[in-house]
Structure 1
Amino acid sequence: MKRWGWVMSLAIISGLVLSACGQSKEAAVSTSAANITVKIGILKNVTHAPGFIALQNNYFQQAFGPNAKIEVTSFDNGADFATAMATDQLDLGYVGPGPVINQYLKSKNIRVISGVNNGGAVLVARKDAGIRTVKDLVGKTVAVAAKGGTPDLSLRSLLQQEGLKVSTDASGVQIVTRAPADTLVAIRQKEVDATLIAEPWGTQIIQEGTGTILVDWNKIPPKDGNYPLTILVANDKFLKDHRDLAKKAVKANKQGIDFIQQNPDKAYELISSELKVLTGKGMEPALIKAAIDHLKLTQDITLADINEQAKISYDAGYLKVKAEELDFSKFLDTSLLDELKKEK
């Protein structure tokens, strides 16, 4: 009996030790998750609306946990965002595909983890610039937010379709870079003749009465507006160390999309509130509605979409290797999105 009692005591003690070890391990994991800071990047465009909603409704915070800290950095263009992502200044965020495609080929440490929206950019001509068709852009100056950005690539594709060339003189179309807010001023002051610009800036130019739509969003190449304008990306280190949080970010993005579709009027108010946080100035709900109406909200994105953007970037001279010679299969990682779809 004494021997049996000793064995039982040893078993109990061993169980307690193992239990304590398990609790310590769980506590360590919990503490590690609680102390994390997630750095999210986003552009100051209404085309990033699902991200705005996810921030305003605390979808990211709810997903990451109450003790996680979220740092948000806003950008005027995708090129600066892509550089910040590649240099570990950001963990994840919203951007156009053009800049991160270019950056991926340099650093190989960025992954696309979800779509956000397609389309959402318009070609606007200054009212008194004498521009009635795309061919009238010869000898004119057209503004884009950044070289290599998605609107820039769309503009170059459109000009190529019309048989027009990009030049630095009046023999072709001159492309200049201006931040979206600066483009509004440049149109007013007649410094530029047209712009291919993401919403809501295009709609704002129209409502001011200084410009007219030359090519609407659903006719902008490629695929008549059905191209990825905004995507959700993450860097490799974050995906490796915190894959669970990246998956939760994809879910938060979907919650943002769903909220806009199900509660549009409330969404416009929240988008305006987030714009005020990022820029210091909100926006009229009617203007936001007009912008949202000019895009297609979707999580879906394919390798064909990426390859098409890469081809346009190569044709524009931003890539030195032909798109068909490049492998973007690792750049696009929809495994998190696929897992979430299966869990429904």
Structure 2
Amino acid sequence: MRLTNPLRPIVLIVVILFSSPCALLAKEEKSIRVGFFPNLTHAQPLVGLARGSFQARLGADVKIDTKLFNAGPALMEAVFAGGIDIGYIGPGPMINGFIRSGGEIVRMVAGAASGGAVFVVRQDVKVDSPKDLEGKTLASPQLGNTQDISLRIYLRNNGLKPKGSGGNVGVIPIHNPDIMNLFREKQIDGAWVPEPWGARLVRETGGRVFLDERDLWQNKKFATASIIVTTGFLLEYPELVEKWLRAHVEVTEWINAHPEEAKEIINAELKRITTKGLPKEILNEAFGRVEFTYEPLVESINTFADYAYELGFLRQKPDLSNLYQLDLLNKVLTEDGLGPITAVTE
């Protein structure tokens, strides 16, 4: 009589199940949720995703789930809702979200863009000096976003106040496409916007650049976009964050070395996302105002934090000492012979 092991069929089933390709794929596949805007200042995700640079670095077993936003506050709300792992965002909403979470929810791991924000006014409206803004109606992309903070600080520094704060300047936070429409309809007199919306206001609605924000900053450099990572994702998947940063640095270097090819890709992506590409003259004008970088430009972010506090967007004076986590960026830069970056983080 032949004896059999009663556990043998069970063992065989388990071995077959966990050695099947489908089971291994389900076990190993990861997803990374990335948020950004269809703006020129977010060129790296536009170019890098189109060229497959991020996917190549992450590997075929990592799914990139992209999510688009009009402005930073909306992206930060998605972070709080647990819907974003990595995001490209301006200083204002990044700082606000960091402080709101008690310094827990995100870390800033790299820079993305400097410049690329302008204050545009209508040609038929007399605005030759800040004093001429009295009684005017102005717009920004969203309450508390980076351009909104810059506009309000500019008014304050020139002795002006918005309506509702004891002044007579109207400040309306609305989406960039709506700013275009209101400009055409002459319902607003000016707007502080990121590129390519500034160039579009000039070329498509008859506006003129009253102020290039670079002229307000030392060396004409200030953070327009940075990369944030949720703290939980960074702790659980530091290797994926490092791979993303490696691709980000590569894409940044590629854009700066191949500007004409980069413009074509950016325009194709903007057309795919918004259904409308940009005429060459608009793209060239907007592109010329943006510097694509991985440098964090920490000092300008600290200044934005002070501005947000002074304007009342933050209830307490900000301490950003735990916001900046640049070790992975410096690791990538050092290995690529580009770094490291030293930054004042307090």
Give TM-score scaled by structure 1 length.
0.86
Residue of structure 2 equivalent to 1:309? 304
Match of 1:178 among 170, 174, 177: 174
Deviations 1:179-198 (A, max 9, x none): 11110110110111100110
Residue of structure 1 equivalent to 2:91? 97
Residue of structure 2 equivalent to 1:269? 264
Unaligned runs of 5+ in 1: 1-23
Match of 2:329 among 322, 332, 337: 337
Deviations 1:148-167 (A, max 9, x none): 11111111222222222222
What is the CA–CA distance in structure 2 between the aligned matches of 1:33 and 1:341, rounded to whole Å?
32
What is the CA–CA distance in structure 1 between the aligned matches of 2:95 and 2:167, rounded to whole Å?
30
What is the CA–CA distance in structure 1 between the aligned matches of 2:240 and 2:323, rounded to whole Å?
19
Match of 2:254 among 256, 259, 271: 259
What is the CA–CA distance in structure 2 between the aligned matches of 1:82 and 1:184, rounded to whole Å?
24
Residue of structure 1 equivalent to 2:79? 85
Match of 1:123 among 108, 119, 123: 119
Match of 1:157 among 150, 153, 160: 153
Deviations 1:3-38 (A, max 9, x none): xxxxxxxxxxxxxxxxxxxxx9xx9xx858841011
Residue of structure 2 equivalent to 1:106? 100
Deviations 1:218-261 (A, max 9, x none): 22x44474110011111011101110110111121112211211
Comparing both structures, which one devotes a greater share of its residues to helix?
Answer: 1
What is the correspondence of 1:203-282 to structure 2 with a 5 Å cutoff? 203-219=199-215, 221-223=216-218, 225-282=220-277
Q: Is the 8 A contact 1:114 1:233 kept in 2?
A: yes
What is the CA–CA distance in structure 1 between the aligned matches of 2:96 and 2:68, rounded to whole Å?
20
Residue of structure 1 equivalent to 2:12? none
Residue of structure 1 equivalent to 2:60? 66
What is the CA–CA distance in structure 2 between the aligned matches of 1:80 and 1:169, rounded to whole Å?
24
What is the CA–CA distance in structure 2 between the aligned matches of 1:303 and 1:218, rounded to whole Å?
16
Query: How many residues end up aligned between the 2 structures?
Result: 315
With over 3 angstroms needed to count, the CA separation of the structure-2 counterparts of 1:65 and 1:212, relative to structure 1, is: same
Residue of structure 2 equivalent to 1:20? none
SS in 2 for 1:206: helix
Give TM-score scaled by structure 2 length.
0.85
With over 3 angstroms needed to count, the CA separation of the structure-2 counterparts of 1:176 and 1:166, relative to structure 1, is: same
Q: State the superposition RMSD in angstroms.
A: 2.2
**What one-letter code is carried by the residue in structure 1 that aligns with 2:96?**
N
What is the CA–CA distance in structure 2 between the aligned matches of 1:218 and 1:43, rounded to whole Å?
21
With over 3 angstroms needed to count, the CA separation of the structure-2 counterparts of 1:217 and 1:292, relative to structure 1, is: farther
**What one-letter code is carried by the residue in structure 1 that aligns with 2:184?**
R
